[in-house]
Structure 1
Amino acid sequence: MTPETLIDFVYDEAATLDEMRWEDWLALFHEDGRYWMPLEWQQQDPILQPSLMYEDQLLLTVRVERLSGERTFSQKPKSRCHHLLQRPRVLSLGEGDGIFRLRTSFIYTETRGDNLERYSGWVSHKLVEVDGALKIKLKRVDLINFDAPFGNLQLFI
């Protein structure tokens, strides 16, 4: 797997979210994949320490179904998002363990009606190859203002 292929994957994943293609985004996850947003700076454990989010395939599916549903009144009007990404840094090409690691700085904007929220931080991806396709084993979102009060995130960073 080339570094360019890994970098393109991260950009394409963000575009999938910005285009509200929820099912396509969910399909990018490995069956054991996790979406994690830590509550602490440099937090190492999502199980024994509280997190803003720590979602497996089941919870991600429930959220995607809610976003896609016609009876989701909290999404009228629908939320929209935009990811502004710095070029992802490839940290590992899977040497030894088969896990490709990337880290990306971002600014994320989410809007619904006249409400606009901005978040910034870093996304760490752990990717694996399954049948020739990349899958997300872990997507970790570290917000720079993790300890500040903020409203509900409706979509996915």
Structure 2
Amino acid sequence: MSRLALEVQADAQAVVFQEAAHLDAQRWDDWLALYAEDASFWLPAWTDEHRLSVSPDSELSLMYCAARAGLEDRVWRVRSGLSVASTPLPRTCHAVTGCVATAAGEGRVRVESAWTCHVYNVKHRDQHTFFGRYEHLLRPEGEGWRIAAKKIVLMNDVIPTMIDFYCV
């Protein structure tokens, strides 16, 4: 791997790690700034024990936002207090590992990784751990990278209560 490729891989991994840090610190504006305006955010549902839905337009998804505006709306609901399930906000701790960055054409980079998110529900004093795989598609914008698409594969999809963007 050339020096440039190592730098690109390090930069791409840094975006994924920074995203997790912003979520855990509830720095919503910084988190949203990582996303391109037309970025998709998709959490497909399992259709059986071993098959995920393949299209957010024609099959069931646990969460789907076709553009950053959908994520902005979710953040607004959390901030406004209108999301009863998110009041008070749970504490989260994301761990991202095994990041592998590969070229995706047109200057883009695909980053595949494994993740866990420990969620502590302050209101009910209970906790849950979600885990799975991420697929980030990054593209250069300005002087950095932006998330053009994020697919979240949730491996333990029996959800004890609620799930939202800050839990995955």
What band does the TM-score fall into relative to the shorter chain? Answer: 0.7 to 0.9
2:115 pairs with 1:99: no
Correspondence 1:2-151 to 2 at 5 A: 2-40=8-46, 41-55=51-65, 56-69=67-80, 74-90=85-101, 92-94=102-104, 96-113=105-122, 114-146=125-157, 148-151=158-161
**Structure 2 unmatched ranges of 5 or more:** 1-6
**Structure 1 unmatched ranges of 5 or more:** none
- Which secondary structure does the structure 1 equivalent of 2:98 belong to? coil
1:45 Cα offset (Å): 1.3
Moved over 3 A (4+): 70-76
1:155 Cα offset (Å): 4.0
More helix per residue: 2
- CA separation of 1:76 and 1:52: change in aligned 2, threshold 3 A: closer
CA distance in 2, matches of 1:108, 1:44: 24
Size of the aligned set, in residue pairs, is 154
CA distance in 2, matches of 1:125, 1:31: 15
Deviations 1:59-87 (A, max 9, x none): 21111112222565544432221101113
1:21 Cα offset (Å): 0.3
TM (norm. structure 2) is: 0.82
CA distance in 1, matches of 2:45, 2:87: 29
RMSD of the TM alignment (CA)? 1.9
